[in-house]
Amino acid sequence: MLYYLFDWINKLYAPPGFDAFRFITFRSGLAVLTSLIICFWLGPKIIKKLKEHQIGETIREDGPERHKAKAGTPTMGGLIIHLGILVPVLLWGDLKNMYVWLIILVTVWLGVVGFIDDYLKVVKKYPKGLIARYKLMGQISIGLIVGVILYNSPEFDGIETITTLPFIKNLNWDYVYWWIYIPVIVFIITATSNAVNLTDGLDGLAIGTVGISALTLTVMAYVSGHIEFSRYLSIIYLRGSGELAVFLSALVGASLGFLWFNAYPAQVFMGDTGSLALGGIIGAVSVMIKKELLLPVFGGIFVIETLSVIIQRLYFKYTKRRYGEGRRVFKMAPIHHHFELLGWAEPKIVIRFYIVAIIFAVLSLVTFKIR
């Protein structure tokens, strides 16, 4: 809303420097700084309140032994992340932009689903929290809403089912039919939401890798909404999508701010309140800017984590049926626990996963120039 205030002042009085507020890059920088200030200011207060109400993490019994020391650490810290994202966007974003409101809806929707799950687990002491099918219903329903809105959006007129195909110049992929396009969107948002949730198992791991992915998406959103850059890179120009860079910059700031408290040894965990929403954001933005086919590259860590769980379960079931006892590919899944049980220190695993995530991010951006 400050964006509109300063824009009004600029049009009325034209004071020196106020013209800068028109630029997405300038407002993105302000969104990062605002997000950091909010996280550093409100973070300790929220953590204190969580401790006062004894909202602490319950550690799974079959998890690594060293994790039992984390029992009771405040959870539902995703509230810090949500405030660090939404407040800067409301201050510096263009609230007339369809993309902005749609991604805000995704954030709040999945944040509420995650909050209910955490509340049932931590406060009501239901071991499994929100029943899995209800959680899935929440993810699928927001995926449907995003899919229907995008398909009928004026900004997508004529390119509703078309998306950018990586690596190959002047060639896009067309889903052709809405009944293919919308289910794909539902799958991507649901899968990414759950993938980040699986990644959230070590101090700082999920929020750090989300921040790296968000920074990558910030660049993609900006160039997709810039007619000259999109033409130069041979990608689909999406009028208004550049405004997502402000939202994603706020997410980058919130990631850094939350990491301050979530780094090893963590003072607070994000819980499903944070992880479900963060994954949904990554998936939703990917489909909004038509870069969902690049998601397995810049979101490679989330893909690896998810595949490790799928492989572990399928192999266990197969060997149990064939040999009478289940066998495992990894010592424990998701794969970050496998490295823990190999004796790697938790900070070492997290930093190395960051390095891999950065490599994936660079590779995804390189595909633009290759194209």
Q: Which residues contact 7 (CB under 8 A, 6 or more apart)?
A: 21, 22
84, with CB counted inside 10 A (0-12, 13-18, 19+), is buried
Instruction: Kindly state the tokens that stand for 141.
Output: 């329903």
Bridge partners of residue 329, in order along the sequence: none
Q: Is 19 annotated as a binding residue?
A: no
CA distances to 41, 97, 102, 283, 286 from 30, rounded to whole Å, are 16, 18, 21, 24, 23
Instruction: Kindly state the tokens that stand for 122.
Output: 């931590």
8 A C-beta contact, residue 8 and residue 223? no
Residue 197: closest CA among 256, 260, 132, 289: 132
SS3 assignment, position 55: coil
Instruction: Kindly state the tokens that stand for 266.
Output: 């963590």
Q: CA 344: distance to chain centroid?
A: 26
Q: Is 117 annotated as a binding residue?
A: no
d(CA 135, CA 276): 10
Binding residues for Mg(2+): 197, 272
Binding residues: 197, 272
